[in-house]
Amino acid sequence: MLVTFGSLIVKNLFRQRTRTALTAVGIAVGIATVVALGVITGGLRTASNDFVKSGGADFMVAQKGASDLTYSAVSRRDWQAIEARPDVERATGVLFEVAHVGSNPFFFYFGYEPAALGGLGLRPVAGRLLAPGAPREALLGAKAASSVGVTVGGSIVLDGLPFRVVGLYRTGDLWQDSGAVVPLATAQELSSKKNVVTAVHVVAAPGADPHDVAKDLERELPRLVAIESAADYGKVDQGFEVLGAINLAISLLAVGIGAIGVMNTMIMSVFERTREIGVLRAVGWRGSRIVRMILLESAALCVLGAFVGVLLGVAASRAILLVPAVSSFLTPSYAAEVFVRALAVGLVVALVGALYPAFRAVRLSPMEALRYE
Amino acid sequence: MSELVVDVRDVRKTFEDGRIVALGGMDLQVSRGEFVAVVGPSGCGKSTLLHLIAALDEPDSGSIHVGGHALESHKELSHYRARHVGMVFQLHNLLPTLTAIENVQVPMFELDLGVRERRRRSQNLLRAVGLEGRERNRPPQLSGGERQRVAIARALANEPPILLADEPTGSLDSAAGRTVLDLIERLRAENGLTIVLVTHDRDVAARADRLVHMLDGRARPEPMLATSLPSSFPQPVGGSR
């Protein structure tokens, strides 16, 4: 029995239910794309951050300007120079390669010096670690073992070379747990990268500030770059930057397409109600109240679309992870930031889509609006 | 001498780049509590005059003072429309998705009224216009006369001192029209309203204290008492501008 501003907005939206529903679906598809991409890129960042910090490392050093981490090359001389620094407690070189194993084209394997494995945080699950002087032994991450169906005593072929699996491990780092560890010398031979590692994981000496050590290292060895977190990953992997750009482009596209849909709906709605808006002006409604009514109608429509879009986006990101090759290097990251961005996209769509209709609604004088046929 | 609440002086209003002259120097003075009927043939400018007094449109020249407000210099016309005048249109102009009582509450958004006061006031108004029990009906569920009564209740929602009615019975049958006029007269007696009513209908005009006869956008020189309405008074032929 009491009409409120909110109930008036809901009633207006539900006048044309099909149109409202279709517009909300259009917005939802855009938002779902933003959410799914956000969840995936967030997951990729988390995984890469875990890799940077693997084995308790403070940061990772790689070749400056590499277009992809696997293309990075740090010479043994530079690695030794890092190792020799008094402010560095430990410097572990790793050769990072990708092989096609079974149906997985992105199977990661890591070449480490067997003697360094003890300090890398590899928790043996079964079997033992690599023995010195055994070039064809491999360790399998627990996740990889279950996905390729190989256990201790079995064998795995990496880039055409068979390895005997002597142990299973867990690190908590998705990439390493989904891959294999082999002796560094064998990995270098296999990939024709003699005396070269992909990166060096660095632990600063007690009392030394890791950030200062990283910056000092970059000054001393200008061909190298220190990666302290996933945010720095773009320095050695342009794929991350490309992914970020794609994410932004799709978000903007979603805003653009969504805004056009909302604008179309709101323009039709305002045109149909021109006389009614004239009546509201005639009974004393301020122009600002009418603008607020139209903006809130649009916002309600977009929030509804955003809510459905978030659900669709989460479902889509889970569906993508059903592909084993994807789940080996990606875990979804449902960070609050992703959902805040989805809501922000929805509200920007609402604002952009409703501005012109709102402007048009108050531009007419009450009498012009009342005369509108 | 009674206080002037509507003072229209030498108002001109044209449409279509001056090709159509709706008002060509109109004067009108209405005292507090007076019931004035503005009559005249179609296109003589009656409705335009009412729309200008309601601040729904702006004159090309001349001055309009309502309740001490000079409309040409009034900065917040929406404030004026919400508080100082209530407008009843020939067609009810109710919002179709809202119930009768919700339609009555629509103008109250501009007042700082509490929920209880809004509900109380709208219920009282619907009771006053004889629509108790029809509060939850939407306009399509009401008859023409009932819709017009809701429109009158809406016009009085913010307790304006002046009621402006543009052919309020123009779309009703004679019985429904009589009911609406009785209602307007009763509300005037109860609330001391000043009423300016535009009509084609001699029976409607006969209810007023005073007639203002318009022709070609101007008032005739001699205002007439309603009781002296000439027999040649034109009959309704359609809407007027």
Q: Convert the pLDDT of each residue in A185-221 to its tens digit.
A: 999 999 999 899 999 999 999 999 999 999 999 999 9
Whether A6 has its CB under 8 Å from any CB of chain B: the answer is no
Helix orientation angle between A238-272 and A336-363, rounded to the nearest 10 degrees:
30
Whether A11 has its CB under 8 Å from any CB of chain B: the answer is yes
Do residues B17 and B190 make contact, with C-beta atoms less than 8 angstroms apart? no
Query: Rounded distance, CA A126 to CA A151, Å?
Result: 9
Query: Rounded distance, CA A103 to CA B240, Å?
Result: 81
Structure confidence by residue, pLDDT tens digits, A44-66 = 888 888 888 888 899 999 998 88
> Which single residue is written with the structure tokens 């004239």?
A278
Residues B97, A365: C-beta atoms closer than 8 Å: no
* Residue B207 DSSP SS3: coil
Q: Give the contacts of B11 (CB within 8 A, at least 6 positions apart).
A: B23, B25, B26, B27, B49, B52, B59, B61, B62, B63, B64
Q: Give the contacts of A122 (CB within 8 A, at least 6 positions apart).
A: A55, A129, A139, A169, A170, A171, A176, A181
Among candidates B155, B4, B128, which has minimal Cα distance to B67?
B4
Chain B environment of A366 (Cβ under 8 Å): 56-57, 81
Whether A276 has its CB under 8 Å from any CB of chain B: the answer is yes
| Nearest beta carbon to residue A284 from set B99, B102, B110 | B110
Residue A343 in tokens: 């809501």
Task: Please report the ipTM that was assigned to this predicted complex.
Answer: 0.88
Q: What is the pLDDT of residue A1?
A: 66
- Weakly modelled stretches of chain B, pLDDT under 50: 231-241
- Cα-trace Rg, chain B: 17
Q: What is the pLDDT of residue A63?
A: 93
Residues B97, A283: C-beta atoms closer than 8 Å: no
Res A124 pLDDT > 90: no
Query: Rounded distance, CA B106 to CA A283, Å?
Result: 8
Residue A372 in tokens: 């509108």
Structure confidence by residue, pLDDT tens digits, B167-212 = 888 878 888 888 888 888 888 888 889 999 999 888 889 999 999 9
Do residues B198 and B48 make contact, with C-beta atoms less than 8 angstroms apart? no
Mean per-residue pLDDT over chain A, rounded: 88
Residues B110, A281: C-beta atoms closer than 8 Å: no
What is the CB neighbour count within 10 angstroms for residue B218? 20
Burial class of residue A153 in the structure, from the number of CB atoms within 10 Å of its CB (0-12 exposed, 13-18 middle, 19+ buried): exposed
Residues B154, A283: C-beta atoms closer than 8 Å: yes
Region of poorest pLDDT, from A68-82, A289-303, A328-342: A328-342
Q: Which of B60, B106, B150 to mutate to test the interface with A (most CBs of A within 10 A)?
A: B106
Q: What is the pTM of this model?
A: 0.75
Query: Rounded distance, CA A138 to CA A148, Å?
Result: 14
> Which single residue is written with the structure tokens 């956008």?
B217
Helix (H) or strand (E) holding B225: strand B224-225
Res A144 pLDDT > 80: yes
Residue A279 in tokens: 């009546």
Whether B51 has its CB under 8 Å from any CB of chain A: the answer is yes
Chain B environment of A289 (Cβ under 8 Å): 109-110
Q: What is the pLDDT of residue A292?
A: 94
More reliable by pLDDT, A148 or A139: A139
What is the CB neighbour count within 10 angstroms for residue B60? 13
CA distance A276 to chain B (A): 7
